[in-house]
Each structure stands twice: as structure tokens, then as C-alpha cells.
Amino acid sequence: MSLKQNLSDLETQLNSLSAGEGLALMASLFPEKVVFSTSLGQEDQVITQLIASQNLPIQIFSLDTGRLFPETLELLGRSESRYKTRIKVYYPETASVEKLVNDIGINGFYESVENRKSCCFVRKVEPLKRALAGNEIWITGLRAEQSANRGGMKRVEWDEANQIIKYNPLLDWTFDQMIAYIHEHKIPYNPLHDQGFVSIGCAPCTRAIFPGEDARAGRWWWEDSKKECGLHAK
């Protein structure tokens, strides 16, 4: 049976399990083939804690786009120290970044959605493909509550672009539930969250949100789009 055909059975099993139990199940069903991509956001910090607290054999990795906030990089180091684990870091290809910047300018992503998506592809999508290659399960910190686009996602999905099963263990968690878990377990998090930055990506493309705004409103705020970079596009 192919990976894609396993989805229904997996979803049935995972729907009756907690996030921590689901992660443990995936690690046992797909040994050495489960990876977790962390952007160091609050959701991802919860998942890192769940993996580390159970000592699960799941490789944690992150994408350093070259335009991250200093606070994000500092949190990466704190997380490694706290959980005594190494978070593997993937970087964009130097030649691709040089061509991108020379073609559209250092901040050319402000000029059009096309330019912005080109930047996201070079700095995030291509490195992600390298990180996922050869694996069978991709764990993410997506929550349905984050945006309308993510509200239609399932706990386990087939990611056609990367030919991999995507598992979203926190899909049905509320924001308040996540924050309570962070405080209960004293999980380190980005101090920018306390300044109104809910969803944190690259520094030039992220701002704090205003009261009542969607959680993703602070990402690429100058454009009218689904607020996705291409990693989780439907």
C-alpha cells in the first residue's frame, strides 16, 4: 500500500489520540522517516517540547532564510540548550539568493505578489524540499484557527508537491489552549509574541497585528493574498 493510501487509516488512529500520543505513534510507524519543521513559533515550540519530553526519534529542522529576526535565531539556540537536542538548519542556495536579489532588488518582494513568492521559493520552499527529501512524514505546527485557508486542512494530508504525508498534531488546538500549555510547561518562546507579533516570519515581511485582526494579518501585510509562502499552499 502506498503512503497516500495510508491516510484514511492514519486519520482514524490519530483522531483518538492526543498530540503527544500522535507524535509517538508516527515515530513508531515510520522509524527514521519522520521530520518536524519548526519556524520557532509558539505552536512549533509546543511540538518541540512534546518531541523532546518523550525523547522521540524525530529529526527537528528549521529554515534560516537569511532575513529572520535576531530574536528568532536567539530562540533557536535557547531551544537547543533547553531540550539538549540539535535543530538542523537549512539555508537557501547562495547562487539562487544572489540571482534573486540581483533580479528584483534587495527588497523587491514589496513590489508584487509574484516577486514575493519568488523570494519565498528561493529562501523557504527550495530548502524545505531538500529537508523533506527521503522522509515519509512531515510534522507541522499548523492550527485551523490561524486563518481561513488553514481552517480547511485536515489532521493528516497528502502533500503532492513534496510527495509526503503532512501531520498537523495541533490542528484543533485553540490559541488559549496553546498559551496555557506554554505557561504550564515553561516553554521558551519568542519575546516578539509579547509585542503583538502572532505569526513571525522574515523580519521585512512581518509586523505586529492590531486588535481584532486575523492571526496571519501581520504576514505580507502590504498585499491581499492568502498569507501563505508556498510551504502550506492548498
User: What pLDDT, on the 0 to 100 scale, is given for residue 145?
Assistant: 86
In a domain, 232, yes or no: no
User: Distance (Å, rounded) from C-alpha 109 to C-alpha 91?
Assistant: 19
> With bands split at pLDDT 50, 70 and 90, how would you rate the model's confidence at 220?
very high
User: What pLDDT, on the 0 to 100 scale, is given for residue 5?
Assistant: 64
- What's the structural domain count of the chain? 1
What domain range is 152 assigned to?
4-205
pLDDT at 147 exceeding the cut of 70: no
pLDDT at 1 exceeding the cut of 50: no
229 is an active site residue: yes
Q: Which one is catalytic: 119, 202, 205, 229?
A: 229
> With bands split at pLDDT 50, 70 and 90, how would you rate the model's confidence at 228?
low
pLDDT digits (tens, 9 = 90+) for 20-70: 999 999 999 999 999 999 999 999 999 999 999 999 999 999 999 999 999
User: What pLDDT, on the 0 to 100 scale, is given for residue 93?
Assistant: 98
In a domain, 215, yes or no: no
13-17, 72-76, 119-123, 134-138: least confident range:
13-17
On average, the pLDDT of the chain sits at 92
Mean pLDDT of 219-229: 76
> With bands split at pLDDT 50, 70 and 90, how would you rate the model's confidence at 146?
confident
User: What pLDDT, on the 0 to 100 scale, is given for residue 226?
Assistant: 59
In a domain, 234, yes or no: no
In a domain, 114, yes or no: yes
User: Distance (Å, rounded) from C-alpha 130 to C-alpha 133?
Assistant: 5
CB neighbours of 42 closer than 8 A, spacing ≥ 6?
Answer: 178, 179, 182, 189, 190, 193
CATH number at residue 142: 3.40.50.620
In a domain, 192, yes or no: yes
